[in-house]
Amino acid sequence: MSLTDLTDKIFSEIVESAKEKYRRENWRGTFDQFLAKLAENPERYLRTSYKYIYDAIVHFGKEEIKDCGETLPHYHVFDDPFGNGRKKIFGQHRLLESLVDEIRSSAEEEGPERIILLHGPPGTAKTSIMYLISKAMEFYSRTEEGELLRFKWKISNRPIDPGRQSKIGFQTESGEDGEKSSSKKKKSPKKRGVEMVCSLNDNPIFLIPAEQREEFLRKIIGDRDITVPKKILEGEICYNCRQIYNALLDKYHGDLEKVFQHIVVERFFIEDNQGFIDRAWHYGRSISYAI
């Protein structure tokens, strides 16, 4: 095999690998397709943020260790599997057990909502702990078990006609502004329009009215032993999405099926360069981090 042939072969393998990775990681679908995924695996798509953090931590496994005669859990994520142990946490087994237990407690909605504050002097691994938790979430979001879904609004790229009743431009699968396109009209090049993502990456289940959501989920879950978090049952879409949602309800006279035609559901990933945030405060020689 010549050097040119070898180069072409390697490049083709890279291209095919990239295509397969894209197909696997970049799922997109309709709201109905999201509901089908939800019915198949309710626990995966009905998690709160705290539950997701806890699942990301335990995804890397744990073992029981002895420390001063006491048996404690050791979570492998704090061994830094992402950087060959460069940020591994040493001598903090009780602190880490307490931290993970607080996250688990919040995930199971035991007691009031809380902010977890790590407080202490420099050199006590607070930054490393936050780093490893954030890396765990990044890695976990790219696994099948850690799949995250959000929704977008399909918005028409056609200029809005002031003479039409519609106040905003939207696009559905069938045509512009939610109307079926007529075959008698002159065909023009198809334009995709604009897709506006929810700025808070809200769970698509929030699009189902809260007063009907519990009954809907109860029917989907059936006899499976699954507890739906209160925040999932009572949560609402963000302010901006609520304005769009209400405008569409007015446009379609309360027809939710037509509203959902404007929804695209897609997979997304947690990445520190796309908005993953923690907080740090400095008090003289003490530093506090909040999750």
Evaluate whether 214 touches 232 at the Cβ level (below 8 Å).
Answer: no
Does residue 266 surpass a pLDDT of 70? yes
The string of pLDDT tens digits covering residues 197-238 is 999 999 999 999 999 999 999 999 999 999 999 999 999 999
Structure tokens of 139?
A: 């890695």
Average pLDDT over residues 237-263: 95
Same domain, 285 and 249: no
Give me the pLDDT at residue 178, please. Answer: 52
Same domain, 32 and 174: yes
Residue 211: CB atoms within 10 A of its CB come to 7
Q: Residue 17 domain-assigned?
A: no
Query: pLDDT-based confidence at 191, cuts 50/70/90?
Result: low
Helix (H, G, I), strand (E, B) or coil at 115: coil
Same domain, 249 and 199: yes
Average pLDDT over residues 70-95: 92
Same domain, 138 and 173: no
Evaluate whether 198 touches 151 at the Cβ level (below 8 Å).
Answer: yes
Give me the pLDDT at residue 158, please. Answer: 52
Does residue 17 surpass a pLDDT of 90? no
Same domain, 171 and 264: yes
Same domain, 31 and 169: yes
Does residue 129 surpass a pLDDT of 60? yes
Average pLDDT over residues 38-56: 96
Checking phi first, is residue 212 left (phi over 0); if not, alpha (psi -120 to 50) or beta? alpha
Same domain, 37 and 97: no
Same domain, 152 and 262: yes
- How long a stretch of residues is the chain? 291
Query: pLDDT-based confidence at 110, cuts 50/70/90?
Result: confident
Same domain, 249 and 280: no
Same domain, 39 and 118: no
Judged by average pLDDT, the poorest of 4-8, 151-155, 185-189, 205-209 is: 185-189
Q: How many domains does the chain have?
A: 2
Those residues whose C-beta lies under 8 Å from the C-beta of residue 43, and which sit 6 or more positions away, are 226
Evaluate whether 107 touches 54 at the Cβ level (below 8 Å).
Answer: yes
C-alpha separations of 87 from 78, 91, 265, 275 in Å: 8, 13, 36, 22
Structural domain of 222: 27-47+147-268
The string of pLDDT tens digits covering residues 164-177 is 444 455 555 455 45
Same domain, 192 and 254: yes
Does residue 136 surpass a pLDDT of 50? yes
Same domain, 119 and 247: no
